[in-house]
Amino acid sequence: MPPVRTARASKKAPPEGFDDLEDTLLEFAAAMKDAENAPHDGKKKYEMVWPIFQITHQRSRYIYELYYEKEAISRQLYDWLLKNGYADAGLIAKWKKQGYEKLCCVRCIQTKETNFRSTCICRVPKEQLKEGQDIQCVNCGCRGCSSGD
Amino acid sequence: MSDVPVRPPPPPPPLPAGWTEHNAPSGHTYYFNKETKKSTYTRPVAAAAQPPPPTPLPPPPASLPARPPASLGAESGYSDYNDPTHQQLNAFDPKRQMEDLIFGGAQNLYSNRGQDHARGGLRGGFRGGHNNFADRPRQPRDRPKHRQDIPGCAPWVLVRTKLRRRFVWNKDTNESFWKFPPDVMKAVIEFDRVEREKKERRERGEPSDVEEDDAMAEIEAGLAQAEEDVEIVEVEGEEGMEDEEEYEEVEVTDDEGEEASHPPKRQRTEEPPTEQPPEDDDLAWQLAQMEEMEQMGGDHEQEEYFEEEPLSEDDCKALFKELLDDTNTNPYTPWDKVLEAGALYGDERYKALPNMKARKECFDEWARDKIQYLKEQKAKQQKLDPRIPYLALLDRYATPKLYWPEFRRKYKKEPELKDMKLPDKEKEKLYREHIKRIGMHSSELKSDLTALLKAQPLAALNHSSTLDTLPSSILIDLRYISLPPSSREPLIKTYISTLPAAPEGAAASAEEEAAVAKKREERRRRERALAEREKSVQEEKRQQERDLAYGKGRLREEEMEIERAMNVGKEGLRAHLGAE
Ligand SMILES: [Zn+2]
Ligand SMILES: [Zn+2]
């Protein structure tokens, strides 16, 4: 959860250009809050965290694209955003690597915690899956993030 | 075919002295003058005894290709033909005119084809009137692109035009109709269905049998040819015609605009009706004639068929980007959110790009450029008077319904209100003053604005100024925003148009102006082309719907007929039983 800009936090005001992103970031923050406070509705425990992973992913992607693809924000602002938790630095670091451009979350590529010491099913390329196989990983609810397209 | 009249040709007029009639090996008739040693396909005519040109084919209904309800039947197409206005319009011979256009002014005064003597007795009286329009050059705006025999419905041929309209043509009687006769319609519907299925199967990658592949290949070949702007598909058996010595003297005068760049392959020839089927340039002719009739039908939408350059990929992108600009899309917003907001769907330009991937890419490109542009603007603005953006904000949002504190609260997120370079006191003062002025009488506001405009030096405001390049001395003045944009902008535009050109040293701005004008023109062109494309898609859709509705109507009718027949049968039986 990134800090809400209160009077105290604004002492260290964000670098120039933050204003342009603020609306979208507030929307993400609101969506995140909703996801965190969402009722259980009989969902499985691990399903509850999926929206949170998703929003983290979207927000990181947003900042990643603004900096690397659209060159819309300064390095200073980018660093400030990472430092203040607006984007997941670990995830962005992976996106820069070939084959991980669309990685959903860092948990899905960790082999240590899994039963079979392998990465998540969502990392298996589409063409290697059985015909019509519908997948969704347990970690973040991803439906496949290694496809090359 | 019973309801489509087969019209016997009239006897050809006698040949003038010196001319003889011959048959070429191809089956065409040509004429030879032994004095001048000249040969021509056009039947020569004695100048003095010129009988009036014959009436052309019955035209399609004026509102092309509208189809009357099935119950009216094919006859209805002709009913309005007896209307005096139609007859008036038929006073000249469009057929000849079109022949002149298409075939380079050859003197085709007589034609054996397509006479409607069965029904048009009266019309003869109107022939040979003034050729009011005959001298007016007019290009056929549409032309045949592709023809296909309608399976199981010989001798009918389905012809598709460049504008993707369709008509049917009877090879034997040489009649053509936009409105398909009922039995042809049935065959065409069936044909379309088969084609559609083939296409779908092909898209799914399913193998189709050889015969279909051949058919498909033929269609594709036809289309490919059409794309290369080959006007019409060649018919076998016609090659080598040009080599015939007899045809050497046939002249083609290429003085008719666009057609000049595509001179027709052959002169059109006069054929007795018993001859082999006419050629494809006859199709062009048929189409041209139908177009002509269509135009005479009173629907003078000249612009409709104005040929725009087709949209290039860049054009499509530019259209989409202009949509993003026009909807004030925030380039810092993620694409998903832009889509969610839903402001884009309603606009035609949204469909300029074929799919989501293309749209996303285009959006990214646009956002990237837009952000760069905004950055530059910001850098420039920082040097500018902070009152300019603030007044622009007031112009957008200020309303007498809101007091200053309410206004400030409501729009506190706007950068203009946050901007500290303009003290709050000044902001408040400007707001109150502005609200007061909004309440004033508009004539007063107008004279205030005129006074403000008149006070500008010519260097700042001159003939090449635009609404986007007004000097800051105007933009920081409350008198400028007192009038709403709807009445302010025309006033300023009018005023600017009365101004002389800029004094020396303003050349750069004039160049900029030219660039802006060019940009505007480009944009207009793209939007026209998009509208054009949309129109033809819609037209096709409507046509399909009509075809479907028409087909359904026919089907219902037939069902009812069968039902009727069965009822009668039962009753008849019952009556019969009762009698016994
Ligand atoms: Zn994944
Ligand atoms: Zn994951």
* CA B135 distance to own-chain centroid: 25
pLDDT value at position B6? 43
Does a structural domain hold residue A1?
Answer: no
A37 plus A49 within the same structural domain: yes
Range B554-570 average pLDDT: 76
A27 with B337: Cβ contact below 8 A: yes
A113 plus A90 within the same structural domain: no
Give which of B548, B538, B535, B537 is closest to B180, Cα–Cα: B548
Range B163-174 average pLDDT: 74
Take residue B220 and report the two structure tokens written for it: 């594709």
Contact of A71 with chain B, judged by CB distance below 8 Å, is answered with yes
Interface probe for A, chosen from B328, B330, B332 (most Cβ of A below 10 Å), is B332
Query: Would the pLDDT of B366 be above 50?
Result: yes
Q: Report the range out of A2-6, B184-188, B527-531 with the highest average pLDDT.
A: B527-531
Tell me if residue B457 falls in helix, strand or coil: coil
The count of domains in chain A is 2
Q: A70: domain range? A: 18-96
pLDDT value at position B121? 39
pLDDT value at position A129? 78
Tell me if residue B219 falls in helix, strand or coil: helix
Tell me if residue B23 falls in helix, strand or coil: strand
Please tell me which residue, B454 or B253, carries the higher pLDDT value. Answer: B454
Whether residue B179 contacts residue B65, with contact meaning beta carbons closer than 8 Å, is answered with yes
pLDDT band at residue B227 using 50, 70 and 90 as cut-offs? very low
A17-70 pLDDT per residue, tens: 898 899 999 999 999 999 999 888 788 888 888 999 999 999 999 999 999 999
Whether residue B464 contacts residue B509, with contact meaning beta carbons closer than 8 Å, is answered with yes
Which of A21, A58, A70 faces B368 most closely, judged by CB atoms?
A: A70
Range B216-233 average pLDDT: 49
Domain final position from A52, A77, A96:
A96
Contact of A62 with chain B, judged by CB distance below 8 Å, is answered with yes
What separation in angstroms does the CA of B329 have from each of B42, B143, B353?
Answer: 64, 42, 17
pLDDT band at residue B575 using 50, 70 and 90 as cut-offs? low
Specify the range with the lowest mean pLDDT, choosing from A13-22, A104-113, B168-177, B495-504. B168-177
Nearest-by-CA chain B residue for A73: B371
Tell me if residue B170 falls in helix, strand or coil: strand
| Distance (Å) from CA A133 to ligand 2 centroid | 18
Range B386-409 average pLDDT: 90
Does a structural domain hold residue A3?
Answer: no
A92 plus A114 within the same structural domain: no
| Distance (Å) from CA A55 to ligand 1 centroid | 14
Cα B307–Cα B309–Cα B312 angle in degrees, nearest 5: 150
A126 plus A69 within the same structural domain: no
Q: Report the range out of B104-118, B245-259, B555-569 with the highest average pLDDT.
A: B555-569
Which of B332, B372, B413 faces A20 most closely, judged by CB atoms?
A: B332
What is the per-residue DSSP string for B259-321?
GGGS--SS---B--TTSSPP-HHHHHHHHHHHHHHHHHTT---GGGG--PPPPPHHHHHHHHH
Please give the order of strands across the beta sheet that includes B19-23: B19-23, B29-33, B38-40
Range A123-128 average pLDDT: 83
Residues of B in contact with A29 (CB under 8 A): none
Residues of B in contact with A72 (CB under 8 A): 331-332, 367-368, 371
Whether residue A32 contacts residue A43, with contact meaning beta carbons closer than 8 Å, is answered with no
Query: Would the pLDDT of B138 be above 70?
Result: no
B337 with A71: Cβ contact below 8 A: no
A38 plus A104 within the same structural domain: no
- Its ipTM equals 0.82
Tell me if residue B38 falls in helix, strand or coil: strand
Residues of A in contact with B372 (CB under 8 A): 71
Does a structural domain hold residue A9?
Answer: no
Identify the burial level of A106 via C-beta atoms within 10 angstroms of its C-beta, where 0-12 means exposed, 13-18 middle and 19 or more buried. middle
With b for 16 or more beta-carbon neighbours within 10 A and e for fewer, the B537-569 pattern comes to: eeeeeebeeebeebbeebeeeeeeeeeeeeeee
The rounded distance, in Å, linking the Cα atoms of B374 and B252 is: 59
Does a structural domain hold residue A52?
Answer: yes
Whether residue B7 contacts residue B115, with contact meaning beta carbons closer than 8 Å, is answered with yes
What separation in angstroms does the CA of A85 have from each of A2, A3, B231, B511?
Answer: 5, 8, 64, 49
Does a structural domain hold residue A10?
Answer: no
Query: Would the pLDDT of B2 be above 70?
Result: no
Take residue B413 and report the two structure tokens written for it: 């997120």
pLDDT value at position B123? 42
| Distance (Å) from CA A129 to ligand 1 centroid | 14
Inter-residue long-range contacts of A86-91, CB under 8 Å, 24+ positions, other chains counted: A86/A2, A86/A25, A86/A59, A87/A59, A87/A60, A87/A62, A87/A63, A88/A56, A88/A57, A88/A60, A91/A56, A91/A57, A91/A60
* CA B405 distance to own-chain centroid: 54
Residues of B in contact with A21 (CB under 8 A): 332
pLDDT band at residue B290 using 50, 70 and 90 as cut-offs? low
B190-207 pLDDT per residue, tens: 777 777 777 777 766 655
Query: Would the pLDDT of B28 be above 50?
Result: yes
Chain-wide mean pLDDT for chain A?
85
B68-122 pLDDT per residue, tens: 333 333 333 333 333 344 434 444 444 444 444 444 433 333 334 444 443 433 4
What is the CB-side half-sphere exposure of residue B504 using CA atoms within 13 A? 0
Range B450-455 average pLDDT: 92
Does a structural domain hold residue A54?
Answer: yes
A22 plus A54 within the same structural domain: yes
Chain-wide mean pLDDT for chain B?
69
A48 plus A67 within the same structural domain: yes
Range B550-573 average pLDDT: 75
B336 with A58: Cβ contact below 8 A: yes
pLDDT value at position A41? 78
Which of B337, B364, B415 faces A19 most closely, judged by CB atoms?
A: B415
Cα A62–Cα A66–Cα A72 angle in degrees, nearest 5: 150
What is the CB-side half-sphere exposure of residue A20 using CA atoms within 13 A? 24
Query: Would the pLDDT of B386 be above 90?
Result: no
Specify the range with the lowest mean pLDDT, choosing from B101-115, B361-375, B494-508. B101-115
Which residue do the tokens 């004539």 mark? Answer: B443
Please tell me which residue, A13 or B92, carries the higher pLDDT value. Answer: A13
Could you say which ligand is closest to the alpha carbon of residue A91? 2
The rounded distance, in Å, linking the Cα atoms of B524 and B132 is: 35
Element (H, E) at B343: none
Does a structural domain hold residue A11?
Answer: no
Element (H, E) at B75: none
Beta carbon pairs, A and B, within 8 Å: 37
A69 with B364: Cβ contact below 8 A: yes
Q: Report the range out of A124-133, B155-164, B493-502 with the highest average pLDDT.
A: B493-502
Range B367-393 average pLDDT: 85
User: Which DSSP letter does residue B10 get?
Assistant: P
Take residue B522 and report the two structure tokens written for it: 């480009």
Tell me if residue B146 falls in helix, strand or coil: strand
pLDDT value at position A114? 62
| Residues contacting B416, CB < 8 A, separation 6+ | B389, B390, B392, B393
A115 plus A89 within the same structural domain: no
A81 plus A110 within the same structural domain: no
A71 plus A31 within the same structural domain: yes
Could you count the other beta carbons within 10 Å of the beta carbon of residue A65?
18
pLDDT value at position B429? 93
Q: Report the range out of A1-10, A36-45, B89-98, B421-430 with the highest average pLDDT.
A: B421-430
| Distance (Å) from CA A123 to ligand 1 centroid | 6
Residue B159 pairs in a beta bridge with B147, B167
pLDDT band at residue B217 using 50, 70 and 90 as cut-offs? low
Please tell me which residue, B481 or B67, carries the higher pLDDT value. Answer: B481
Whether residue A58 contacts residue A104, with contact meaning beta carbons closer than 8 Å, is answered with no
Cis peptide upstream of residue A125 (ω within 30 degrees of 0): no
| Residues contacting B235, CB < 8 A, separation 6+ | B279, B280
Backbone angles phi, psi at B189, to 5 degrees: -60, -45
A67 plus A46 within the same structural domain: yes
B470-484 pLDDT per residue, tens: 888 898 899 999 998
pLDDT value at position A62? 96
The rounded distance, in Å, linking the Cα atoms of B380 and B371 is: 14
Helical H segments across B205-246, by residue range: 210-227
A135 plus A70 within the same structural domain: no
Query: Would the pLDDT of B534 be above 60?
Result: yes
Range B319-331 average pLDDT: 91
What separation in angstroms does the CA of B309 have from each of B304, B367, B526, B531?
Answer: 14, 28, 9, 12
Query: Would the pLDDT of B438 be above 60?
Result: yes
What separation in angstroms does the CA of B26 have from each of B20, B237, B252?
Answer: 18, 8, 20
Domain final position from A96, A113, A133:
A96
Range A68-91 average pLDDT: 94
pLDDT value at position B515? 86
Nearest-by-CA chain B residue for A62: B334
| Distance (Å) from CA A122 to ligand 1 centroid | 4
Helical H segments across B477-506, by residue range: 478-482, 485-498
| Distance (Å) from CA A143 to ligand 2 centroid | 9
What separation in angstroms does the CA of B374 have from each of A70, B96, B381, B515?
Answer: 13, 61, 10, 20
* CA A14 distance to own-chain centroid: 21
Does a structural domain hold residue A82?
Answer: yes
Give which of B13, B42, B10, B268 is closest to B116, Cα–Cα: B10
pLDDT value at position B307? 55
To the nearest whole Å, the CA of B359 is away from the closest chain A CA by 16
Residue B170 pairs in a beta bridge with B156
